[in-house]
Amino acid sequence: MEGLKDLLKRVQNGDLEIKEALNELKTLPYKDIGHTKIDTHRKIRRGFPEAIFCENKTKKQILEILKQFPEETIIATRASQDIFDYVKKELNDVKYHKKANIIQVGEKLNKKGGKVSVVSGGTSDEEVAEECAVSAEIMGNEVKRMYDIGISGLHRLFSKLEDLRNSRVIVVVAGMEGALPGLVASLVSVPVVGVPTSVGYGTHLEGIAPLLTMLNSCVPGLSVMNIDNGYGAAYLASTINDLSSDKNE
Amino acid sequence: MEGLKDLLKRVQNGDLEIKEALNELKTLPYKDIGHTKIDTHRKIRRGFPEAIFCENKTKKQILEILKQFPEETIIATRASQDIFDYVKKELNDVKYHKKANIIQVGEKLNKKGGKVSVVSGGTSDEEVAEECAVSAEIMGNEVKRMYDIGISGLHRLFSKLEDLRNSRVIVVVAGMEGALPGLVASLVSVPVVGVPTSVGYGTHLEGIAPLLTMLNSCVPGLSVMNIDNGYGAAYLASTINDLSSDKNE
Amino acid sequence: MEGLKDLLKRVQNGDLEIKEALNELKTLPYKDIGHTKIDTHRKIRRGFPEAIFCENKTKKQILEILKQFPEETIIATRASQDIFDYVKKELNDVKYHKKANIIQVGEKLNKKGGKVSVVSGGTSDEEVAEECAVSAEIMGNEVKRMYDIGISGLHRLFSKLEDLRNSRVIVVVAGMEGALPGLVASLVSVPVVGVPTSVGYGTHLEGIAPLLTMLNSCVPGLSVMNIDNGYGAAYLASTINDLSSDKNE
Amino acid sequence: MEGLKDLLKRVQNGDLEIKEALNELKTLPYKDIGHTKIDTHRKIRRGFPEAIFCENKTKKQILEILKQFPEETIIATRASQDIFDYVKKELNDVKYHKKANIIQVGEKLNKKGGKVSVVSGGTSDEEVAEECAVSAEIMGNEVKRMYDIGISGLHRLFSKLEDLRNSRVIVVVAGMEGALPGLVASLVSVPVVGVPTSVGYGTHLEGIAPLLTMLNSCVPGLSVMNIDNGYGAAYLASTINDLSSDKNE
Amino acid sequence: MEGLKDLLKRVQNGDLEIKEALNELKTLPYKDIGHTKIDTHRKIRRGFPEAIFCENKTKKQILEILKQFPEETIIATRASQDIFDYVKKELNDVKYHKKANIIQVGEKLNKKGGKVSVVSGGTSDEEVAEECAVSAEIMGNEVKRMYDIGISGLHRLFSKLEDLRNSRVIVVVAGMEGALPGLVASLVSVPVVGVPTSVGYGTHLEGIAPLLTMLNSCVPGLSVMNIDNGYGAAYLASTINDLSSDKNE
Amino acid sequence: MEGLKDLLKRVQNGDLEIKEALNELKTLPYKDIGHTKIDTHRKIRRGFPEAIFCENKTKKQILEILKQFPEETIIATRASQDIFDYVKKELNDVKYHKKANIIQVGEKLNKKGGKVSVVSGGTSDEEVAEECAVSAEIMGNEVKRMYDIGISGLHRLFSKLEDLRNSRVIVVVAGMEGALPGLVASLVSVPVVGVPTSVGYGTHLEGIAPLLTMLNSCVPGLSVMNIDNGYGAAYLASTINDLSSDKNE
Amino acid sequence: MEGLKDLLKRVQNGDLEIKEALNELKTLPYKDIGHTKIDTHRKIRRGFPEAIFCENKTKKQILEILKQFPEETIIATRASQDIFDYVKKELNDVKYHKKANIIQVGEKLNKKGGKVSVVSGGTSDEEVAEECAVSAEIMGNEVKRMYDIGISGLHRLFSKLEDLRNSRVIVVVAGMEGALPGLVASLVSVPVVGVPTSVGYGTHLEGIAPLLTMLNSCVPGLSVMNIDNGYGAAYLASTINDLSSDKNE
Amino acid sequence: MEGLKDLLKRVQNGDLEIKEALNELKTLPYKDIGHTKIDTHRKIRRGFPEAIFCENKTKKQILEILKQFPEETIIATRASQDIFDYVKKELNDVKYHKKANIIQVGEKLNKKGGKVSVVSGGTSDEEVAEECAVSAEIMGNEVKRMYDIGISGLHRLFSKLEDLRNSRVIVVVAGMEGALPGLVASLVSVPVVGVPTSVGYGTHLEGIAPLLTMLNSCVPGLSVMNIDNGYGAAYLASTINDLSSDKNE
């Protein structure tokens, strides 16, 4: 931003011809201004600056990235105990959410808004559900967990109907045939986000089967995330939750 | 069979040496006996001798095959009005089930047994459901149709619960995400057969999506047929229905 | 609902024993009450009762369904001119949105709320974008169309940045490689819904390519609908838009 | 159930207005009544309450679930020796079926009915075949094993023909090209269930090849389970077997 | 060839230095010599010079190619009646094999050798089987057709066992689940070539299902051609048949 | 651009405070400047402004787009005779390249540079090859066509070796198994671009087979375009050809 | 066989009525006779009785199967050093072909016939090539190995042309893009069998890429085996080689 | 070459008849001459003789191949530290590029030419990017690395625009949704090569998702390499870079 101010001052002072100023400005849009503007925007938008996806990164790479944000809340997803043991030696205010495989650096954010419900179908889907729930909590949402209420026992789902209808937004995590999100969506009027998981075998195709189920739901308006992407669902839920509170301001 | 009898007679009369008889018999198993035995068996087992799948066959070929069974009930599936108009000129006692795309030659069979329920999710699945229902009726089963009770309106399904539980076997035909068979199976104790249909678009992949859903159902014991295979489901349902009546004899 | 009231009255009057009343109630949950309750709920939730997907349905079937909702707004998607010409003879207050392939029966709804932006990448994606935009308008949303601002000309996208950031929710319709939704999501803080289209050739796989692109976006929080599902995206956008206005009440 | 009774009593006593009673009842159907009703039904239907699929669950999770059913027969499938060693310390009446990878808690059930035949094509398919056979036995069925009678040696199959035809229902487990179930179905008149296995290489695609073979069988009525799903096939076979005995009562 | 002779003559006569001759020769291998040699070889090898695959070619293109071989036997596969009507006006000695979709120009070749058996599973596979049988006949082979002996009626196959075992090489054409080639291969000792056809529906995937079946056959030594490639199978069969007669010379 | 100049002038004149100027500039980068700059850049880069892909566009849409570039050379690919007949009525200087399915508006460009060779494997690949060749010619390249030199007759390829090695860049169009580009690449030292075509059947999977062949080539450095994308290959070839001439300036 | 002889004797002696004999014979075809006949046939056909595919089998299972054929040559494919070390303790006359991963029990067979050439594209394909070569040698064929003559260096292939043309049958093993078998087939007149290998990465899809290449070869008559199926190719080659020698007898 | 010279001398001396010389020459084209010619050509073309792909090769095999080129620069890709430790004992002038997994034997080449830019989207793509960058450097190119400038932060990309536009050729390595190469291509006028990486999860399908994205890019002229094929991209880039310098000579 300083570069731009200087340029304008030099024009104001007559130190810089308009033609030359124009030439300099032509290269600016993609550089200084753009940089500053988007960056500022990103911080506001996201609620917190960065989430690191640990798979395919070395412990050293992860630690280096975490250190770049010394005064902000930041999380690392798909983080093993081993990674946590490695990074905690060099970081302050860091904790590990074991079931969620999430490392949290800094405090969870505060925000007002409705409740995000995280629903899962079976015990095996819990890791993804927890990735979603913990992420959403760190982003400042109030989270209601409703686990193990899969389609094979419909009564378990119905007993939660009141809670579901009182949510602002619902994330439904499901492996196997992935029919749960559609079923939930057929019973409520709030936005529902489906997250297929890779839990299954054979024709499950590591999550392709429930993904297809969700994309083809005859219940309109169900939106879908990538397989096992609990963090992404939390992010979307948080964005939607932010929306409603914005309105109150 | 006559050939065998002759052979034995010749052995009995001393006209044939045992060694020579053995040589003749070595070639028999795959020929005369085998032929006769299996064939007889097939008629008993199937309830009626043959069903012709019309796709990829010419009208002339279809008519020729139908004529080979002059005194028996026989059906042709995936048959257009056009095919029916062609074959009815040369056949007696032939009728067309338009919605089911089935040509029926001869009378429907009679048999005692439980009720076969045919359930479908949406209006668009009706052709496959009718292929199943009509086939099952011609095979002699009492059929109960319950159409358009898909997952997007759960109350429609629940209002049929009594009927479903009173069936001997249930065929559930479903396109879109194909979650209905699993849902039905979670509510009843009789065998449930799922038939995915090719009705859908995009990631529906012409029926692959609901097929995967059914194969991955977390409700145990759901069995699945090929996409759009209403006839096959009717056949299986009929076989199961026969089973229970066998026991009474 | 009347059945239930009667039952209670008979209990109140002493005409019905509690034990018998319990027996009757046991069968109710899946029947009368359930039916009424969900149904009422559905009307409130959806904004309007039903949308008919015309593919794989006959003109006659479509007309019959449309006639079942004589006093309500209802739409038919993927409707050809031919279908419209057929149904308009027997329906009042019906109009055809040609580019969107939508038949509208009844007036569009009214509701307060933010703006739904519908973005598309290229001329060929317009049908799906229009299906989304028109559906959203009939559901009562204010819709802002921004068409033909694909990734091959980044400046077209940037020139709309202000509009995009002022939306409540953004639907991005894209064929070819489907990178546009992720790009938009990287520039705004409101929820973004991606709709892949079947427009492309070769390895496009009729929409699988852009679908995968959207599911794998490195921009967090992007949610995805089935290929060509403009109506579903409108439905979700409307649900999110409703959310924010709920809060104001 | 008690809640409902109380409510009715209060109506009977005049302590509760009908309007208020109606309001309370509106939330009931999906809660207390529904819960009880389905639950009771499930126990009757299944023969035993629950089967745990061990993959993707921790030893601790498995033990916790097993402990929830202290007085009932329950099984855990895909259970390693290691899991068994862990759970047996805290459970009574527990045994391990090693080839089948099944942990059994409690006694096997008793029921009358026909014979379930479990057929397998090769030595490598034995684990899945045993999962099916042992599950079916614990569910109370009489099981006849016929292993290693694959299609490459037709005489092995033919020598079992009598046994196959005397079964109530036949489960055929096959890897490689998966042609065996269709072949068996062409020779018998009882229901046949195919289970593709993941045993093969290259284009076998971990079981997709035999699955497709079974789905496309030209022998009508063959139904198919997910790849390696021996337990599901046992469950279906047991359901069919139950059917026939029901009739005798 | 003349070029080479000239070159050598010039060397012999002393008109060309060895160094210059070497330079000329360096460019020869990929040009004149190579051309001549391979070409000559091709004619001997193939039995006849060229087969034209008509799909994706215009009638005009097909006619032009056919005219390039005025004195030789040549065939056009996948040729419609329409193409034949077009080309027959300008060609002598041309006939159309309608069921096989083959145009034959010139006489069929003569050769000694064993019998090529062409087996097919169902009526719908006949076009591919005929493409194979007619091609093989034109290549000079004695062909034995055995159609409609599919796996659903095993006795039909067994009744042909003697004929099958007396063949030099067997081509088995099969759609649906494609189990027939493996079954045939399990019963004979001569080479078996499988040709999957695109006849089927749903998970048949236009021939992928039977292709996979054949590739995964547990009967060793079964070789496979592309889907519907009857001509290719005839070519291979002919090559194998040639082999055996070579030996006699 | 004028907007920017004005802004600077107002700063120069003292009519605009620096702070306010900064605010205005913050929104510029994605708007006016960006627009102008990229646009200018695009024209230089491309050689000509726009190519319209006609599939999924109406004749009217195509004409409208063509009219937007009144003074420039522009092409429309995948254009049928029917589209040409429609647009030629309203456009000057328009011609149709029938085999290439290309409409050309305006004159072909002039540029110096090496030769672009376009190689194709068979008669059926000619449409894609022509799309490439004609596009490249209109872009100003000298094009050398070498058609029908597929892998089944190696001598045809070798006879063109000199020509191939004298090219600046080679585009190889191939259907069927798609081995030709790798073979060509193994014989030359210039960049080779492979274009798989959708010409084939069965496991060809409409071009997936040759695409995979090219991507997996053991000859290093072969780059690949989408199936049937002759225009894209011409564009890349032209870019590479431009490169070399750039250097000379 | 003895059972049949007894039966005939009893008929001859008058100890058995013809009617009873017929009844007994009806069950025979699929049992004793069939058994004996096929079995005898199998031994003649195969050259040696059995090959064990070791994957998915335990060491104990493998040893047990090997022991069932005490006096015959038998091989185990995909056998690790570890398996060999286990079985060699209990078997005589056993050796390990390490590169081929084959355990051989008993002597290699003797037969007259032509030469089987085994060609491979690269060093990484050697395991599959050796599985083929060693298998073929044990089956009694003279084998000529030509390794590492892949398509990226065409001269290596051409230098072997004489050898290739003098083979009776050629097996070409190729990973990567799998173009080598088609290339070889274009240069020779003997049968060529392609074996795709799983060696590659990315879009190689563990062998699907070269498999598709081979199936789509524009060189007619190329036949294909499953991915990595060196043994199967050896078996087919041996069957073809047997054919030619048969003729001489 | 000596063979040919001898032959010509013998013709010159009259020791060899022209007819016999012709016979000898007929076998030459695919042997001696061909061999020599191509080989010489390969060395010139490639810049250096060979690159070894280490996957699926044993350490011993790798060492043996490396030793065959004692006086030339050669590289081994996908080489682990373990392989390097093994080979360095027996080789001189060998070094290990750890991040790139490349073993280099001999000095990097020298050549004049433009700059090759290697761009990557995220930290996890660095291995592939380094494989490309290091390979290109050893081939003698000047390489500019621009890592971690993925699509989720557009400003990072824009800040590098100048550098990108000053490159001769750009390689863009991207995992996740793979939109970066298309974005870069839309901003520059030099050739862009996309390399999808296998970094991702779920529907990423180990690189298929970004591959499809790149193939379907609406930005014309983007060419694509196999998944993770950094070496191949370097090779192509080097070929293009060589082109431009050729022109200067």
CA distance linking residue F56 with residue C199, whole number of Å: 7
DSSP string, chain H: -HHHHHHHHHHHTTSS-HHHHHHHHHHSTTSHHHHHHHHHHHHHHHSSS-EEE-TT--HHHHHHHHHT-TTS-EEEES--HHHHHHHTTT-SSEEEETTTTEEEESPPP-----EEEEEESSGGGHHHHHHHHHHHHHTT-EEEEE-S--TTSHHHHHTTHHHHHT-SEEEEEE-TT--HHHHHHTT-SS-EEEEE-S---GGGGGGHHHHHHHHT-SSTT-EE--TT-HHHHHHHHHHHHHHHHHHH-
User: What residues contact C20, with CB distance under 8 A and at least 6 apart?
Assistant: none
Chain Cα centroid distance, residue F202: 30
Contact between E202 and B229 using a beta-carbon 8 Å cutoff: yes
Residue numbers in H near E17 (CB within 8 A): none
Q: What is the token pair recorded at H234? A: 């370097």
Determine contact, residues G67/G91, Cβ cutoff 8 Å. yes
Nearest Cβ partner of B203 from C42, C65, C226?
C226
Question: Residue B155 has what DSSP assignment?
Answer: H
Chain Cα centroid distance, residue E213: 23
> Is D14's pLDDT higher than 90?
no
> Is F175's pLDDT higher than 50?
yes
Go through A6-45 and write b for each residue having 16 or more CB atoms within 10 A of its CB, e for each that does not: ebbebbbeeebebeebeeebbebbbbbbbbbbbeeebeeb
Residue numbers in E near D215 (CB within 8 A): 177, 202-203, 209
Q: Give residue F37's pLDDT.
A: 37
Neighbouring chains of D at 3+ CB pairs under 8 Å are A, B, C, E, G
Go through G23-50 and write b for each residue having 16 or more CB atoms within 10 A of its CB, e for each that does not: eebbebbbbbbbbbbbeebbeebbbbeb
Residue among C101, C125, C146, C158 with most chain F CBs within 10 A, to mutate: C158
C249 confidence band (pLDDT: 50, 70, 90): very low
Kind of pairing between the strands at C94-97 and C51-53: unpaired
Q: Give residue C151's pLDDT.
A: 76
The answer to whether E and C touch (≥3 CB pairs < 8 Å) is no
Helix (H) or strand (E) holding F25: helix F18-27
Residue among F99, F127, F201 with most chain E CBs within 10 A, to mutate: F201
Chain D residues within 8 Å of chain C (Cβ atoms): 1, 4-5, 8-9, 11-12, 14, 18, 21-22, 25-26, 28-30, 33-34, 37
Q: What is the token pair recorded at A183? A: 């079923």
Q: Give residue G42's pLDDT.
A: 44
Q: Give residue A87's pLDDT.
A: 97
Residue numbers in G near F214 (CB within 8 A): 177
CA distance linking residue G228 with residue A15, whole number of Å: 75
The closest of G175, G179, G188, G176 to G221, measured between CA atoms, is G188
Q: Give residue E182's pLDDT.
A: 94
CA distance linking residue B180 with residue B118, whole number of Å: 12
Mean predicted confidence (pLDDT) in D133-138? 96
CA distance linking residue F207 with residue F199, whole number of Å: 7
The closest of B9, D162, B2, B36 to G16, measured between CA atoms, is B9
Sequence letter at residue A141: N
Q: Give residue B147's pLDDT.
A: 92
Q: What is the token pair recorded at D221? A: 């009525």
Which residue of chain H comes nearest to G187, CA vs CA?
Answer: H30
D171 confidence band (pLDDT: 50, 70, 90): very high
Q: What is the token pair recorded at B24? A: 């003749």
> Is B40's pLDDT higher than 50?
no
Q: What are phi and psi of A102, to 5 degrees?
A: -120, 130
Mean predicted confidence (pLDDT) in D53-58? 91
Q: How many CA atoms lie within 13 A of B85 on its CB side?
A: 3
Q: Give residue H159's pLDDT.
A: 77
Segments of C113-202 assigned E as strands: 115-120, 142-146, 169-174, 192-196
In the numeric block, the tokens 């060929």 are attached to: C124
CA distance linking residue G175 with residue A226, whole number of Å: 32
Contact between A224 and C222 using a beta-carbon 8 Å cutoff: no
Q: How far is CA E220 from CA C134, C156, D184, in A?
A: 60, 61, 21
Query: Which range, of A29-38, D197-206, H116-125, H179-188, averages the lowest pLDDT?
Result: A29-38
What's chain D's length in residues?
249
Q: What is the token pair recorded at A139? A: 């982003």
Kind of pairing between the strands at H192-196 and H169-174: parallel
Nearest Cβ partner of E123 from B30, B61, B208?
B61
Query: Which range, of C38-47, F123-132, G135-144, G172-181, averages the lowest pLDDT?
Result: C38-47
How high is the mean pLDDT of chain E?
A: 84
Mean predicted confidence (pLDDT) in B104-118? 88
Question: Residue A205 has what DSSP assignment?
Answer: G
Contact between C189 and A44 using a beta-carbon 8 Å cutoff: yes
Residue numbers in G near B2 (CB within 8 A): none
What's chain C's length in residues?
249
Using only C-alpha atoms, chain D has a radius of gyration, in whole angstroms, of: 23
Residue numbers in A near B202 (CB within 8 A): 215-216
Contact between A12 and F11 using a beta-carbon 8 Å cutoff: yes
CA distance linking residue E203 with residue D211, whole number of Å: 9
Neighbouring chains of C at 3+ CB pairs under 8 Å are A, B, D, F, H
Mean predicted confidence (pLDDT) in C130-156? 89
Mean predicted confidence (pLDDT) in B15-35? 58
Which residue of chain H comes nearest to G198, CA vs CA?
Answer: H56
CA distance linking residue D119 with residue D135, whole number of Å: 14
Query: Which range, of B17-21, B143-147, E78-82, averages the lowest pLDDT?
Result: B17-21
pLDDT averages per 10-residue partition of chain H, 249 residues:
72 83 56 35 49 91 87 91 97 95 92 88 92 95 91 77 90 96 91 95 96 94 96 94 57
Instruction: Per-residue pLDDT tens, chain G, 249 aa: give them.
Output: 456 777 788 888 888 888 777 666 654 443 333 333 333 344 444 455 578 999 989 999 999 989 887 778 899 999 999 999 999 999 999 999 999 999 999 999 887 778 999 999 888 899 999 999 999 999 999 999 999 888 777 777 877 888 898 899 999 999 999 999 999 998 888 999 999 999 899 999 999 999 999 999 989 989 999 999 999 999 999 999 988 544 433
Chain Cα centroid distance, residue E184: 21
The closest of D229, D192, A176 to B212, measured between CA atoms, is A176
Q: Give residue D216's pLDDT.
A: 96
Q: Give residue A47's pLDDT.
A: 52
CA distance linking residue A99 with residue A76, whole number of Å: 13
> Is D43's pLDDT higher than 70?
no
Determine contact, residues B83/B103, Cβ cutoff 8 Å. yes
Q: How many CA atoms lie within 13 A of B111 on its CB side?
A: 28
CA distance linking residue H229 with residue H237, whole number of Å: 13
Residue numbers in E near F203 (CB within 8 A): 207-208, 211, 226-227
Q: What are phi and psi of G241, to 5 degrees?
A: -65, -40
Q: Give residue D161's pLDDT.
A: 83
How high is the mean pLDDT of chain C?
A: 84
CA distance linking residue H53 with residue G123, whole number of Å: 10
Q: Give residue H39's pLDDT.
A: 38
Residue numbers in E near G38 (CB within 8 A): 187
Query: Which range, of D180-184, E233-237, G70-74, averages the lowest pLDDT?
Result: G70-74
Q: Give residue E41's pLDDT.
A: 40
Q: What is the pLDDT of residues F1-48, one digit of tens each?
A: 456 777 788 888 888 888 777 666 654 443 333 333 333 344 444 455
Neighbouring chains of A at 3+ CB pairs under 8 Å are B, C, D, F, H
Contact between D245 and B247 using a beta-carbon 8 Å cutoff: yes
Q: What is the pLDDT of residues F188-247, one digit of tens each?
A: 889 999 999 998 999 999 999 999 999 999 899 899 999 999 999 999 999 999 885 444
Go through G83-115 and write b for each residue having 16 or more CB atoms within 10 A of its CB, e for each that does not: bbebbeeebeebebbeebbbbbbbebeeeebbb
How many other CB atoms sit within 10 Å of the CB of residue D80?
A: 15
Residue among H12, H16, H32, H35 with most chain E CBs within 10 A, to mutate: H12
Q: Give residue G101's pLDDT.
A: 97
Q: How far is CA H57 from CA E108, H60, H79, in A?
A: 50, 8, 10
Nearest Cβ partner of C11 from D8, D28, D33?
D8
Q: Give residue D41's pLDDT.
A: 40
Contact between C218 and H154 using a beta-carbon 8 Å cutoff: no
Q: Give residue C50's pLDDT.
A: 74
The closest of D77, D78, D108, D74 to D91, measured between CA atoms, is D74
> Is A122's pLDDT higher than 90?
no
Whole-model pTM?
0.87
Q: What is the pLDDT of residues E16-63, one digit of tens each?
A: 888 777 666 654 443 333 333 333 344 444 455 578 999 989 999 999
Residue numbers in H near A205 (CB within 8 A): none
Residue among B56, B61, B128, B213 with most chain E CBs within 10 A, to mutate: B56
How high is the mean pLDDT of chain A?
A: 84
Q: Give residue A31's pLDDT.
A: 36
Neighbouring chains of H at 3+ CB pairs under 8 Å are A, C, E, F, G
Asked whether the ipTM of the predicted complex exceeds the cut of 0.85, the reply is no
Q: In what order do the strands lie in the sheet with F115-120?
A: F142-146, F115-120, F169-174, F192-196, F223-224, H223-224, H192-196, H169-174, H115-120, H142-146
Q: Give residue G30's pLDDT.
A: 38
Q: Give residue H34's pLDDT.
A: 32
How high is the mean pLDDT of chain D?
A: 84
